[in-house]
Amino acid sequence: MLTRRSFVPLMFAAPTLLRAQAAVNRVVIDPLRVRASLDRRIWGSFLEHLGRAIYGGIYDPGSALADASGFRKDVAAEVRGMGVPIIRYPGGNFVSGYNWLDGVGPRDKRPTVLDRAWNSIETNQFGTNEFVTWSKSVGAEPLIGTNFGTAAPEMSAALVEYCNVPGGTKWSNLRREHGYAQPHAIKMWCLGNEMDGTWQIGHMPAREYGRKAVDAARQMRAVDPSVQLIACGSSGPGQPTFLEWDREVLEECYSQVDGISLHRYYGNDTAGETGGNSLKYLAMNLAMEEQIDQVAAVCEYVRKRTGSNKRLWLSFDEWNVWYRRRGGNGQRQQAPHLLEEEYNLEDALLVGGLVNALLRRSDKVRVACLAQLVNVIAPIVTNANGLLRQSIYYPYSWALESARGQALDALVESAAIEGIPAIDGAVTFDPATGQYCVLLLNRDLMQPREATLVFRDNAPTRTLRFDTLTGADLKAVNTFADPGKVKPASLESPGPSGRIVVRLPARSYSRLLLQAARA
Ligand code: AHR
């Protein structure tokens, strides 16, 4: 209901230019108000040695769908087509017990080991070189995590040497012996994973981690001064040490790192934060913005206190919906079915909202990874005969395809429902093509809402496409038997002008692509 008396409680406090008390829904777009030039790596993803992400996901040598290297052709084609810019690997929790040496060299000499993070059998038939080869084939940059759990900093530096030094040293010569004459030139590295978590192999106190990060960073940069290093931030706002961890870690290692990581998984559990309330669930993207602001504030605090001129950026390198398939015990099986979350329409709508949140905070977040990419809490699922696009595939692929160029600081005014803004929006403008992309979430579960897009300059001259993800059943899921339950539909294109009125279906996430008069 549109009402001037609606209010927004503090937990959903809106960012500066997002107002929820309005009587009409309005998105004011001024192309001169640029929030950030988008780093494409904000649309990254993640592949861990976990369940069927690698084995049976991207690598399946026994499959009729595999190429000569054992890579699934259908999966590689899909990921290439999506244009995923960067992929984090090999973990996740897995990396904290991983010896990268087990995964390189002749395959018949690689040991089969027990992965203690997921109680699974790891054959090591896929390792760093296979990942780099596969990533290049799909057009993605590798973001490599190193072991801060069981391994010494020396092994992080050895991996940088193995990957990035052309030759003439112990570890670079080993890579050459393994058949890779050219260095992999890997720029981005995560210094461990979720080391604040009691579940993490080698979990340690913040200051200890911070000192280890300094040691590893110095050694890694001694090998290759061009590397970009990401420190482990808190693994989520629910952690008892949230922000305290980040502050203490950064007080130790601020000068040695370039970014800090954030993680968060969202859910609509009846026993959880939302109590199963779908409206509250669809507002959880506002909590993502809050988390980003809080961690960014800690970075600024430490920057000032340490007198540094350098500004860190944020790497939101694990984000997604994940609350159903939480069990992580692989029962000592190889490639067990773990964390195979089935995503429904409301999950996809929230993922759309999270895309909007990342755009609105793209001045702070340089890298972000949808966790994960294939089979494990993933937009793509495989079986022996092919692959399935889950509901969350669509908002993610829209971001990859259309949210380009600059994130604009659009003013979004919206009516509120139970204190929550009905309309959530984000806008990009690509100076290379002169295209606007307007992404709109309608959180109203009952009725369509109109929104007026007001262009302050460079108004659109053509509507290129207007599509939406919606449906009658918020809990509908795609299956191999019925893969089209949740998929986008085209809406009637509104005529281009300086004021465009769009009608957004109830329970929907929509993408409007517009061609501007000028690039
Ligand atoms: O993505 C699944 C797991 O979630 C990762 O291994 C870990 O980093 C996080 O807790």
**pLDDT tens, residue by residue, 157-207:** 999 999 999 999 999 999 999 999 999 999 999 999 999 999 999 999 999
Q: Is 196 in the pocket of ligand 1 (CB under 6 A)?
A: no
Higher pLDDT, 21 or 321: 321
Whether 193 is in the pocket of ligand 1, judged by its Cβ within 6 Å, is yes
CA–centroid distance, residue 92 to ligand 1 (Å) = 5
Strand-strand pairing, 113-115 and 120-122: antiparallel
Residue from 88, 119, 122, 193 whose mutation best tests the ligand 1 pocket (most atoms within 8 A of CB): 193
Query: What pLDDT sits at residue 3?
Result: 30
Q: How high does pLDDT run on average in the chain?
A: 95
Q: Who contacts 300 (Cβ-Cβ below 8 Å, separation ≥6)?
A: none
User: How is the chain split among helix, strand and coil, in percent rounded to 5?
Assistant: 30, 25, 45
CB distance 233 to ligand 1 below 6 Å: no
Asked whether 239 lines ligand 1 (CB < 6 A), one says no
Paired sense of beta strands 460-469 and 406-408, if any: unpaired
Tell me if residue 289 is catalytic: no
pLDDT digits (tens, 9 = 90+) for 90-148: 999 999 999 999 999 999 999 999 999 999 999 999 999 999 999 999 999 999 999 99
Per-residue pLDDT band at 11 (split at 50, 70, 90): very low
Ligand 1 neighbour 48 (Cβ under 6 A): yes
- The confidence score (pLDDT) of residue 9 equals 34
Does 257 score more than 90 pLDDT?
yes
pLDDT tens-digit map of 17-50 = 444 556 689 999 999 999 999 999 999 999 999 9
- Given 48, 194, 341, 413, which residue is catalytic? 194
Q: Name the band, by pLDDT with cuts 50, 70 and 90, for residue 12.
A: very low
The residue whose CA is least distant from atom 5 of ligand 1 is 92
CB 188, CB 141: distance < 8 Å? yes
Residue identifier of the C-alpha nearest atom 7 of ligand 1? 92
Q: What is the mean pLDDT of residues 254-266?
A: 98
For the chain, which residues make up each domain, given as ranges?
Answer: 39-404
Preceding omega of 192 cis (within 30 degrees of 0) = no
**Given this model, what pLDDT does residue 497 score?**
87
Let me know how long the chain is.
519
Catalytic site residue 194? yes
Q: Which two tokens stand for residue 237?
A: 């706002």
pLDDT given for residue 281 in this prediction: 98
CATH architecture for residues 39-404: Alpha-Beta Barrel (3.20)
